[in-house]
Amino acid sequence: MKLGIVGCGAICDLIVKAIKSKRLNIEKVIFYDKNTEKSMLMSKLLKDSEYVNTLDELVKKDIDIIVECASINAVKEVGEKSLKNNKDLIVMSVGAFADKELYLYLYKLAKERGRKIYIPSGAIAGIDAVKSASLGKVEEVSLTTIKPLKSLEEPLKNMGIDIKNIKEPTTVFEGDVFEAIKKFPQNINVSVVLSIATKTPAKVKIVVDPNRVLNRHEIYIKGEVGCIKTVVENKPSENNPKTSSLAGYSLIQLIKELSEPIKIGT
């Protein structure tokens, strides 16, 4: 498989390490980042890799799939140009799909072009069961996320919350998935994955805990099949506390499965 990667941050670093350790069998990687120094550096870490200076240059290359791990704001351009150039697409910044118009636009474009858009399961568990359950009636979908203070510093400051005053577990948000992703665009992508998988807007509660080291995601789904409850506690990425290590590993596993003859789960 030949990969194009857009965004050379923490997720990209995990992919490179997976290739170097032989956990991923990738023939070639081409990197692109608006910061050319980052993409240049990544290209030096792998054999049979290169970097490009523009997204237009990347989508015209001989590659099988493009991995977006840049930002919510990059998804529309990356998605549109990838699909129009007959490339499959993996979207990590799935929070962009809280915008229904964008989701439907890229869905239609992929269908017209005969291409695929893949969304990794991210930092939550049970997506296979959740997708199956969504074939029946779904009555309730909720996500409670508890994160260390360091993971939420930037959005909390943007909301005018003085983080110095947070000494114990504090609920900083309760609302729907659409409002959650607006206020926490880099921290609550899991809520959008859950909403897409269930075809139901999730209710979201976000708690910040200054004494916590691990992220915690509690999912509750009630519907025709019964109830599904899952709990995951995972480490934030060492390179970027806004990103979960598990989210990166779910991407690596997805890429791995795309090139393997046997697939487990839905």
Domain with CATH 3.30.360.10 in the chain: 127-242
Residue whose C-alpha is closest to residue 89's, from 100, 105, 184, 98:
105
d(CA 102, CA 33): 22
Grouping H, G, I as helix, E, B as strand and the rest as coil, residue 89 is: strand
pLDDT of residue 260: 85
Q: Please, what is the average pLDDT of the chain?
A: 92
> What are the residue ranges of CATH 3.40.50.720 in the chain?
2-121+247-258
**pLDDT value, residue 228:** 94
- pLDDT computed for residue 238 by the predictor: 75
- What is the predicted pLDDT for the residue at 198? 93
Q: How many helices (H) and strands (E) does the chain have?
A: 10, 11
pTM for the complete prediction?
Answer: 0.91
Residues assigned a catalytic role: 217
Which residues, in sequence order, are CB contacts of 4 under 8 Å at separation 6+? Answer: 29, 30, 31, 32, 58, 59, 61, 63, 65, 66, 67, 82, 87
Does CATH number 3.40.50.1980 belong to domain 2-121+247-258?
no
Whole-number pLDDT of residue 30: 98
The segment with the largest mean pLDDT, out of 58-67, 160-169, 239-248, is 58-67
Kindly state the helix (H) or strand (E) to which residue 66 belongs, with its residue range: strand 65-68
Instruction: Spell 142-179 as b/e; 16+ CB within 10 A means b.
Output: ebbbbbbbebbebbbeeeebebeebeeebebbeeebbe
pLDDT in tens, 172-214: 999 999 999 999 988 888 999 999 999 999 999 999 999 999 9
Give residue 2's pLDDT band: very low, low, confident or very high (50, 70, 90): very high
Task: Give the model's confidence band at 99: pLDDT under 50 very low, under 70 low, under 90 confident, else very high.
Answer: very high
Report the pLDDT value the prediction gives residue 241, as an integer from 0 to 100: 67
Topology of domain 127-242, per CATH? Answer: Dihydrodipicolinate Reductase; domain 2 (3.30.360)
**Tens digit of each residue's pLDDT (9 = 90 or more) over 115-131:** 999 999 888 888 889 89
Return phi, psi of residue 147, to 5°: -130, 155
